[in-house]
């Protein structure tokens, strides 16, 4: 179909209606072929290609499931309180307050204000995650792969997260260090970091939003991945409406530190008239 004229370009564009690709959002999300929740509650359904990124604002209580479809995804995640980017993920507090550098089911992702941004409800990926290294950079990818620009064959996670941030009215200064899912790192006795590799195909984690959140995701190789080739496979993202963690939930009282973070979060919502 000729696209040299405006009419030709319009007809060509309209002819693409209904075309689906593997790596794209499903709109509406309820058209996703498999529902992990009650039908009709799905609010976000997307497959993110290796070297790709995505972003979304989700409501408090939303549950987000990330799945490593083929075994080489690495989900670099940033969370910010929606409309309040000064409250954002703090990997330092997430590690320090919980006395643990390793993410597992039951761990919390804490903000710079001592509140819970999200809780890790389930984990079938054997804890192969990372709170310490952040994501890849333009300089690092250029040195390793020859390029790290967003539209290159080896985009860096930091560059993709900046694009996701810009689409939400955020600036590079709003981006703290991220956490990573599906590629593990261990701390050796001498303090050195050891890359422990991917969790394998089909691993998933489910996060519960404890505040309204801006979610930024980049699916790129881990910065400590020793493989010379840029290796990154598809990441599945599904989210559905649920409810936030409440008193009486085992997660609320799992640790004294976690309980305090939940109380800080509840106090903020109460002061806003939110229950």
Place of tokens 């989210």: 239
Query: What pLDDT is stored for residue 27 in this prediction?
Result: 64
Please say whether the dihedral angle defined by the alpha carbons of residues 243, 249, 250 and 252, taken in this order, is positive or negative.
positive
Question: What is the pTM (predicted TM-score) of this model?
Answer: 0.92
Measured distance CA(82)–CA(57) in Å, rounded: 7
User: The tokens of 109 are what?
Assistant: 């992702």
Q: What percent of the chain has pLDDT over 70?
A: 92
pLDDT in tens, 172-189: 999 999 999 999 999 999
Cβ atoms of residues 59 and 209 within 8 Å: yes
The ranges of the chain with pLDDT < 50 are: 39
Measured distance CA(275)–CA(272) in Å, rounded: 9
Closest CA to 42 of 245, 252, 236, 265: 236
Query: What pLDDT is stored for residue 101 in this prediction?
Result: 93
Query: What pLDDT is stored for residue 12 in this prediction?
Result: 78
In angstroms, the Cα distances linking 262 to 95, 141, 255 are 16, 38, 11
**φ, ψ of residue 130 in degrees (nearest 5):** -150, 130
pLDDT in tens, 233-275: 999 999 999 999 999 999 999 999 999 999 999 999 999 888 7
Query: What pLDDT is stored for residue 199 in this prediction?
Result: 87
Query: CB neighbours of 142 closer than 8 A, spacing ≥ 6?
Result: 148
Three-state secondary structure of the chain: CCCCCHHHHHHHHHCCCCCCCCCCECCCHHHCCCCCCCCCCEEEEEEECCCEEEEEEECCCCEEEEEECCCCCCEEEEEEECCEEEEEECHHHHHHHCCCCCCCCCCEEEECCCCEEEEEEEECCCCCEECCCCCCCHHHHHHHHCCCCCCCCCCCHHHHHHHHHHCCCCCHHHCCCCEEECEEEEECCCCCEEEEEECCCCCEEEEEECCCEEEEEEECCCCCCCCCCCCCCCEEEEEECCCCCCCCCCCCCCCHHHHHHHHHHHHHHHHCCCC
Query: What pLDDT is stored for residue 155 in this prediction?
Result: 98
Query: What pLDDT is stored for residue 201 in this prediction?
Result: 95
Query: What pLDDT is stored for residue 9 in this prediction?
Result: 73
User: The tokens of 263 are what?
Assistant: 């109380």
**φ, ψ of residue 230 in degrees (nearest 5):** -70, 105
In angstroms, the Cα distances linking 183 to 93, 103, 120, 219 are 21, 11, 16, 11
């Amino acid at each position: 179909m000729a696209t040299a004229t405006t009419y030709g370009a319009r007809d060509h564009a309209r002819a693409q209606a209904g075309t689906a690709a593997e790596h794209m959002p499903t709109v509406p999300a309820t058209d996703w072929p498999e529902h992990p929740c009650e039908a009709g509650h799905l609010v976000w359904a997307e497959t993110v290609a290796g070297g790709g990124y995505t972003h979304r604002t989700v409501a408090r209580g939303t549950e987000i499931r990330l799945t490593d479809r083929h075994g080489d995804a690495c989900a670099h995640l940033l969370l910010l309180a929606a409309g309040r980017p000064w409250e954002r993920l703090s990997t330092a507090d997430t590690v320090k307050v919980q006395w643990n550098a390793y993410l597992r089911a039951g761990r919390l992702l804490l903000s710079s204000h001592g509140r819970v941004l999200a809780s890790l409800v389930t984990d079938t990926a054997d804890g192969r995650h990372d709170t310490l290294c952040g994501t890849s950079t333009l300089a690092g990818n250029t040195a390793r792969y020859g390029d790290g620009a967003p539209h290159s064959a080896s985009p860096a996670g930091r560059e993709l997260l900046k694009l996701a941030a810009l689409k939400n009215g955020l600036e590079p200064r709003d981006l703290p260090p991220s956490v990573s899912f599906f590629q593990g790192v261990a701390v050796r006795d001498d303090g050195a970091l050891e890359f422990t590799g991917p969790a394998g195909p089909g691993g998933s984690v489910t996060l519960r939003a404890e505040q309204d959140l801006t979610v930024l995701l980049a699916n790129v190789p881990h910065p400590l991945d020793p493989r010379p080739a840029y290796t990154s496979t598809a990441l599945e993202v599904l989210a559905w409406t649920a409810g936030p963690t409440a008193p009486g939930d085992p997660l609320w009282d799992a640790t004294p530190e976690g309980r305090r973070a939940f109380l800080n979060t509840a106090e903020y919502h109460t002061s806003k008239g939110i229950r």
